[in-house]
Chain A
């Protein structure tokens, strides 16, 4: 097969679009870990719930954009409830307690969706205005995937502005450095944790509704992406947002380029990437050394 520059370029764009979903998922995971030191194993399940709720709203209203706004809010509220009543009682008991809790919660959510929507899953379609492919000059590329790249950029930018430019963002960053001192200064740190968990799950829900038109929506769809988003989080550095974005895109690109030259090694390639990064830089790209110890 002839490898032309335009094929390589198209493969690269495909990788970026793929990486955008990984990056979005990893941002949510990283945010929650960086702030609360909770390894959220229910993240994939929130992603899946987002996809289902998104389709449900789309079915009700017939409007993708409405669903795109409403779904993260609903999943975010689900996250708030989860933090307040399930995760909060486990703070201070070590990293494994919330890990096991969220692992169990993910199965509860999967089972709930099975009961509500059936085991086969439900059909999802691309919003009419984003259907079809456009000629990028290097080949045809789906409009919707370009939109995915754009939407990810918007979310990343919004989150960055929130964390860097707002007063509340300052408190969140301070809370992730030293919660005790924040408490001493009179900041209601419990509420900050609540909000952060809510934002993290809302982003997972948003990733779900964004990913739904590109893949089969079924109760098990979150299991696979959870593993991949953990790879991204670890490569980027646990708790680091720039790391999550960079690693997400890198994983997408590595997967995509490996698919071109050795398709049967594509899945393996991202784990090889993780192994190489961890050997050279055990804390990941931007991770703080010793955060997990």
Chain B
């Protein structure tokens, strides 16, 4: 039987296909020989916070790429293992356990929601694997949940709400109404505001609790109108913030009342639009527009723009970047990859990855950092990313955190 050209071509295709199929396997073997430093990254790729989570992944991948491009640790490269925790604490715990037991990760960085970060922390703490959390929580640093392996890169509600309160109360007035999502996040934020307001003579007219994920807030608004507050605080997050801001605007509450939010996210503002958020101010861990004032922000934004087609990183994205960079820097500093030694190095770390100087407080491993106060704008926007004015940056200061004793830590070294 003679080979026809068609047969020849088919054979070539089959061989080429086999080579392509085998390539990842070869690549894996090559990597295994180099024994990569593996970092597990459980985040909610599906669910209500998936937009933020996907940005966390993009920024984390950038951090890994930069570190590898700089030569890694004595030629040892880093690898990111992303897993979807579906915004579910049980799923997060299972994925984390799998990352540790099956994938043999060296460290875990990630999470987005207080409940998942606590469940991830429970697993990593028990297995003595270093975990750097990149989502807001007050409780993760408290003595009962904390361990030598627990780090918290994100801001916490106490710090964020406090900074916004310290900025807004003296400027806009002392009579305050809270519209609060009825779960831990909302309650913690209200506590943060009330603490910041205590010394300033701030008076709470009402703390109205609304169910989490409500679509319509109009029924709460006549009462708020009647109370005539100087400030209305929307202590809610994501879509709840978008809906309540939109409806408060419709009811004309902005005439005579300043609306503030503890956490004003870039992604929420994009989803809600300029009209709904016009004039609302809030706190955030990061806004790309800080690059005018902060050189490390400029550097980070430029790298992100270059990697992702001109897109700018969001606040939660930036946390993914910092969370990974800190851990990888600590690997270098410790000259080791085991969690105990890296944890000790991380405690000593002074860093400025994207927003100015940061460090982890010794007693509870909370990252001491600045809080950015931003105001949403609807006019004179340079492009679609230009959504906030940076009003102030509250500098990193330990005194804005709850004390180590308050958190239940006995040893403060």
Please give the residue numbers on chain A whose beta carbons come within 8 Å of chain B beta carbons, in ascending order. Answer: 1-2, 4, 7, 10-11, 14-15, 17-18, 21, 118-126, 132-133, 139-142, 144-145, 214-216, 218, 220-221, 224-225, 255-256, 258-260, 263-264, 266-267
Contact = CB atoms under 8 A, between A and B. Distances in A.
Contacts of A21: 216
B239 A145 contact: no
A140 B252 contact: yes
A215 B247 contact: yes
Interface in B104-156: none
B219 to A, nearest CB: 4
Given A120-B270, A123-B271, A266-B211, A215 B222 contact: no
B275 interface: yes
B50 A1 contact: no
A144 B222 CA distance: 16
Max chain B Cβ within 10 angstroms of own Cβ: one of A120, A124, A225: A120
Given A1-B206, A126-B250, A133-B252, A215 B221 contact: no
A213 B353 CA distance: 40
Given A120-B270, A123-B272, A214 B222 contact: no
A220 B48 contact: yes
Interface string B176-192: 00000010000000000
B208 A263 contact: yes
A122 B218 contact: no
Nearest to B221: A14
Nearest to A138: B222
B250 A267 contact: no
A11 B48 contact: no
A214 B271 contact: no
A121 B216 contact: no
Interface residues of B, number: 38
Given A132-B252, A221-B215, A123 B222 contact: no
Interface of B: 48, 50-51, 182, 206, 208-211, 213-216, 218-223, 225-227, 239, 242-243, 246-247, 250-252, 267, 270-276
B250 A139 contact: no
A124 to B, nearest CB: 7
A51 to B, nearest CB: 11
A258 B223 CA distance: 12
Given A123-B271, A220-B48, A1 B251 contact: no
Given A15-B219, A215-B215, A4 B226 contact: yes
Given A14-B218, A220-B48, A121 B250 contact: no
Nearest to A224: B215
Contacts of B247: 214-215
A255 B219 contact: yes
Nearest to B209: A264
Contact of B222 (A2, A10, A120, A132): A10
Contacts of B208: 263
Given A121-B242, A218-B271, 18 more contacts: A4-B226, A7-B222, A14-B219, A17-B218, A123-B270, A133-B250, A139-B226, A215-B215, A215-B246, A215-B247, A216-B239, A216-B242, A260-B219, A260-B223, A264-B209, A264-B210, A266-B220, A267-B214
B252 A216 contact: no
A224 B223 contact: no
5 contacts: A1-B227, A10-B226, A11-B219, A123-B273, A142-B250
A220 B218 CA distance: 20
Nearest to B247: A214
Contacts of A119: 50-51
A196 B402 CA distance: 62
A15 B218 CA distance: 8
Given A142-B252, A221-B215, A263 B210 contact: yes
A190 B219 CA distance: 43
Contacts of B246: 214-216
A140 B225 contact: yes
Contact of B271 (A2, A121, A132): A121
Contacts of A220: 48
Contact of A120 (B223, B225, B227, B267): B267
Nearest to A121: B271
A121 B247 CA distance: 17
Contacts of A125: 273, 275-276
A255 B216 CA distance: 10
Contacts of B219: 11, 14-15, 18, 255-256, 258-260, 266
A122 B226 CA distance: 32
Contacts of B272: 123, 216
Contacts of B239: 121, 216, 218
A264 B210 CA distance: 6
A144 B275 contact: no
A260 B222 contact: yes
Contacts of B221: 14
A74 B221 CA distance: 34
A7 B223 CA distance: 7
Max chain B Cβ within 10 angstroms of own Cβ: one of A118, A123, A216, A266: A216
Contacts of A216: 215, 239, 242-243, 246, 271-272
A184 B253 CA distance: 61
Contacts of B211: 264, 266-267
B182 A264 contact: yes
Given A10-B222, A214-B216, A142 B182 contact: no
A118 B247 CA distance: 23
A1 B250 contact: no
A88 B215 CA distance: 33
Contacts of A225: 215
B273 A124 contact: yes
A179 B317 CA distance: 58
